[in-house]
Chain A
């Protein structure tokens, strides 16, 4: 690890100001991606701006038609939340499948969404539920937030403060874990709303994406056979030593069916 300055502001504007005023500064939330990167000397920011003192970013609130989860809320808290388990059980299930117990205790929803790892779980839940990303500056719809490999709509100095999830009729998540990393080799989040179904896929490509043919089919019949024959184009999907693109494409269909099963169970 190379030396860096360390700041721990207790106000969001102060954090934003540090980010814009110090060149090459980085936010650290749970640090589950950043700290290993620093330890491997793959990144050497001049300063870290730690969000852990910002108490207003923690916690889960019930807004009837929506649930709002503070950006600094750890995965384990979301997984164990009675509110989330009751209103969006698929999201609680997703949080319970991230990493391992240590990662779930430290890692945060805001950090995961801001990092937008192509194999992270939360982007599938956020996009699948059509959530709203609330930042220090504005509100961004999930459909406009995830821009590709580790790319998001966040601007310099913009800090995610919360994610607001609409409560669906039903939702489910199915994840095929990469054997070693336990990131999603393919993860599919399916959410049924009164006005339609959303299907979001993580792990299969360079970034989270929706599957309109599955959404249409499930809007007609919300059951696994409705999408069993829908094949995903392998173009643009990831191939690596764990899975080639055609296998990932196949898994999207299998995991989508299982996500629907989970939503129905």
Chain B
């Protein structure tokens, strides 16, 4: 018998047994009998008319089985890839929503757009056949940047989307903001670019599809963060497959970060193809293919203005953003730069009036969608940067201006002017904790030491809040969500008292098999090792919305908590019968049902046994069995936040920025497993540091070619880029989630870019530098210093 390992403990991760011994089961590990290989042929052009495809030579190639194109999709009457959100402009006019065919028809709109699917006996034969496909393109000029795309003379991606604007979205009280700006003692202004990112999960995307003619059932194995949603979107909206005839399995998945939380055309094509060729078909993306087909993230151009009174109090905030959507609307695409951006512009401050306008723009680039943080890092970056700009211009200390505007702990719940109401928080407490942990008071000593080496040292703050635990369905529905955002869990107690949990979230690195088992172990008093978590299979798990938006613990864990409570309620009824007591007198604690005030007890195992061998059992009023299910729809978002402090050293000779210290004190609510929280914070911070210093997806204007299309040119953060980080939690409890949890998956990515860039600007502020765009590469910093025409590096 093992031990109860409950909430707050830090056991090693259950799933690591298989991962660390090479026994994971990823899509590319799976082989099906008679399996054929498929490759996608993708557009080499950013923008082109598709004049025709000659399949004959490819079909005659050795081993070739089939070549499928957009014409075949049209012939079979299949649907377009659906967008899960429908946003509207200020007048209530719906966004422009052009079709997103799973294989291109008539036109290609980005390098990587899928043109054909070639199936052969082996991957080599499929590639060889694909090489023989003759595709007639009429190349058109591409437009890749948002500023260029909205110009009147820009290439038009769709005939019925003038100026490439999908939606001209707004939020907030424009008139109130204008009034406040007229009264302002000072207005800070900032123009910035939020750089485009590519997620790069360790495991590239892959899929296998199989059709069983005997049962008319399809199975799709796919690298997905949300298999049930793929089943719904693909089955109901694209391929017209009834839900009961479609099984979607997302087995072990090697990282997602959002990249795998969309329904991709590849999934639909391969499922459709498997029936056409009556063979299981497998496709595994190469890393290069991922670069031009995995949905990208961020890519904003923003103008922001902050109005302040003479004491530095924020009066109003106005933000105008152009957000890149890429060539088509992806699953969550238009939601990210709007609903997950505008409502976060209040931050942890009492700014009374906020207005945000976002023009959502099509370009000849890979579709842009959610990437860890998704909208919230962009909002935090704008706000936390302009707070520093305002502080600098008004001669107010950066910490002091934050304190003057922070929402005090006792003011929660706090209604912002941009829809959201924060239930709980203590930003001042996080700030105070971080100032101590980062040893800010001795920063001057460290700065002087750097100066003696010829280096510039800087300190940067980011005091931020995010909205996660996506999402309250009713609220989301008002904002344009076309689906629900609840979660479900089933707790199946076996006759012997062990427990299997079926949950609709998906574990692809987050440690759910550990944390969810801790919740069950804690609540039911069963041994940690006697709880298994099942996920990622629509035939095994009742339903679910998957994992993204820091929702798994907040929403899925809540469903699990509720289902576990139902098990206890039923267990008490059974115990009352067995112990011949009133149900009201039964207590449950530490795995034992007892009659209050007596020593009469039944163990959890005895109750489970009685439920499945109901000889002595109240069958007249109670069903046998011990299995309960719960759906949970959150009443609000959760609002984790905190204070991040970055310390950098800049080498003025080369422009190199080195992150030398990093401190994060975050409010993530109740912590289930502190080791896992620490890991999530580390990973999130590193991804944010990656955006701030290294990562940049660069397209060539005109040709639409991705210039940073491999790990040789797209710089991912590495271990030697980073110092040891200090992370700590300063938690207030969420008032509306069952366990007080807030989620922690995205906080690191949301808080960190602004902290790092604020530190870089601080390091260079004595030279007149007021802003640095991301990523702060050596080349960019050096050029800034040259343009400042300052006496550096010229000894």
Contacts from A to B (Cβ < 8 Å): 1-3, 40-41, 176, 179-181, 225, 228, 241-244, 247, 250-251, 254
Contact = CB atoms under 8 A, between A and B. Distances in A.
A179 B715 contact: yes
Given A40-B288, A176-B654, A247-B783, A181 B713 contact: yes
A241 B196 CA distance: 14
A180 B715 contact: yes
Interface residues of B, number: 26
A39 to B, nearest CB: 8
Nearest to A250: B782
A243 B783 CA distance: 10
B713 A242 contact: yes
A254 B654 contact: yes
Contacts of B288: 40
A2 B707 CA distance: 25
CB-based closest 7 A-B pairs: A180-B715, A179-B715, A181-B712, A243-B779, A241-B698, A247-B779, A254-B653
A126 B714 CA distance: 29
Contact of A247 (B124, B286, B716, B782): B782
A247 B288 CA distance: 29
Given A250-B782, A254-B654, A242 B777 contact: yes
Nearest to A228: B795
Contacts of B696: 241
Contacts of A2: 124, 127-128
Given A3-B124, A40-B288, A41-B127, A241 B713 contact: yes
Interface in B689-705: 694, 696, 698
B793 A254 contact: yes
A241 B654 contact: no
B785 to A, nearest CB: 10
Nearest to A100: B718
A225 B286 CA distance: 49
B693 to A, nearest CB: 9
A178 to B, nearest CB: 8
5 contacts: A179-B777, A225-B795, A243-B778, A244-B779, A247-B783
A89 B552 CA distance: 54
A2 B286 CA distance: 15
Contacts of B783: 244, 247
Contacts of B713: 180-181, 241-242
B569 interface: no
Contacts of B782: 247, 250
Interface string B775-788: 00111001100000
Interface in B186-206: none
A1 B124 contact: yes
Nearest to A39: B286
Contacts of B795: 225, 228
Interface in B756-781: 777-779
A253 B220 CA distance: 57
A178 B98 CA distance: 40
B708 interface: yes
A181 B712 CA distance: 4
A1 B777 CA distance: 35
B711 interface: yes
Contacts of A228: 795
Contacts of A247: 655, 778-779, 782-783
Contact of B694 (A1, A179, A181, A254): A179
Interface in B103-135: 124, 127-128
Contacts of B127: 2, 41
A144 B94 CA distance: 68
A250 B783 CA distance: 11
Nearest to B656: A176
Interface string B710-726: 01111110000000000
A181 B718 CA distance: 12
A247 B782 CA distance: 8
A99 to B, nearest CB: 11
A225 B713 CA distance: 34
A242 to B, nearest CB: 6
Contacts of A181: 711-713
A241 B124 CA distance: 33
A241 B713 CA distance: 8
B678 to A, nearest CB: 27
Nearest to A1: B124
Contacts of A179: 694, 715, 777-778
A180 B712 contact: yes
Nearest to A179: B715
B712 A242 contact: no
A176 B653 CA distance: 12
A176 B288 CA distance: 26
A251 B654 CA distance: 7
B10 to A, nearest CB: 31
A1 B125 CA distance: 10
Contacts of B716: 180
Contacts of B128: 2
Nearest to B795: A228
A242 B656 CA distance: 13
A40 to B, nearest CB: 7
B711 A180 contact: yes
Nearest to B721: A179
